[in-house]
Amino acid sequence: MKVLEDLAALRAWRATRGELGFVPTMGALHEGHLTLVRRARQAAGQAVLVSIFVNPTQFGPSEDLASYPRTLERDLELCRETGCDAVYAPGPEDMYRAGATSFVEVGAVAEPLCGQFRPGHFRGVATVVAKLFLRAQPQRAYFGEKDYQQLQVIRTLVRDLDFPVEVVGVPTVRETDGLAMSSRNLRLSPSERLKATRIYAALQAGPSPEAAREVLRAAGIEPQYLELVDPDTLLPKPWPLQGRGVLAVAAYVGNVRLIDNLAFEGA
């Protein structure tokens, strides 16, 4: 497996490959990421590239950029074991030219849910993903459905800007007690880790947002948002649910902000 530390190394490696499956990550890899890699491996004849880059432009000034877990050596080992062909792990100076002022805005789908509470977050995500797509030129890119709004933002980006990339959404991977796998889970204390399991329990009480809210209330969790939304536009869906809906939640457990979602089919 090749470790590519800058754009020049990535371009040189890319020139030697044909079809490429791409798994963009911020590292601190867990089973959720490895499932994306395995899914990419399934496409016959396709090389698999993982990127590891903690992207500063998607963190707000009061967010957890500094404390975001960084476990590069272990990540590389996991990528090697899972059969990645290469890992692109650039530093911030390789990714962003000093004084760069251009960003990608995707519009409405980035505004509700996390967009209300993390201004600029999806602009940072869309910008770095666009740059990564331009640099790596993948045929397919794999994203977890846990970050449901991010997946819709990236689908919109690809559609609106004509990226020749197939975006593959992969179902959320959960711990045995239901907690959605996330790099941020590493920062939960044992008691917070236990409390965090109530987030998925709440979603399972859906699709009624009130029933889900009740489960969170009983666990002492005040959600930042808990909304039943249209799966494509992410606009609120009225209750009772008709057709497809996604119940989406964000909540702090201690200092750790967790998100999760569950899809439902109404009458």
User: Where on the chain is the footprint of ligand PAF (CB under 6 A)?
Assistant: 24-26, 55, 58, 125, 128-129, 147, 150
Q: Taking the CA atoms of 132, 23, 57 and 118 in sequence, report the sign of the dihedral they define.
A: positive
Nearer to ligand PAF, 24 or 207 (CB): 24
Tell me the C-alpha to C-alpha distance, in Å, between residue 154 and each of 74, 131, 189.
Answer: 28, 12, 32
Count of residues for the chain?
267
Residue written as token pair 């272990």: 74
State in angstroms the smallest separation of the CB of 126 from ligand PAF: 9
Residue 17's identity, in one-letter code, is: R
What's the N-to-C CA distance of the chain in angstroms? Answer: 49
3-state secondary structure at position 30: coil
Q: Is 121 a catalytic residue?
A: no
Nearer to ligand PAF, 124 or 207 (CB): 124
- Report the C-alpha gap between 217 and 240 in whole angstroms: 21
Cβ–Cβ < 8 Å for 51, 23: yes
Nearer to ligand PAF, 130 or 221 (CB): 130
Q: Taking the CA atoms of 200, 204, 207 and 209 in sequence, report the sign of the dihedral they define.
A: negative
Nearer to ligand PAF, 167 or 179 (CB): 167
Residue 130's identity, in one-letter code, is: A
State in angstroms the smallest separation of the CB of 162 from ligand PAF: 20
Cβ–Cβ < 8 Å for 45, 20: no
CB atoms within 10 A of CB 54: 17
Tell me the C-alpha to C-alpha distance, in Å, between residue 199 and each of 29, 166, 227, 230.
Answer: 22, 31, 13, 20
State in angstroms the smallest separation of the CB of 210 from ligand PAF: 30
Catalytic residue among 4, 14, 28, 33: 33
Nearer to ligand PAF, 68 or 200 (CB): 68
The helix (run of H) or strand (run of E) holding residue 74 is helix 72-82
Known catalytic residues are 33
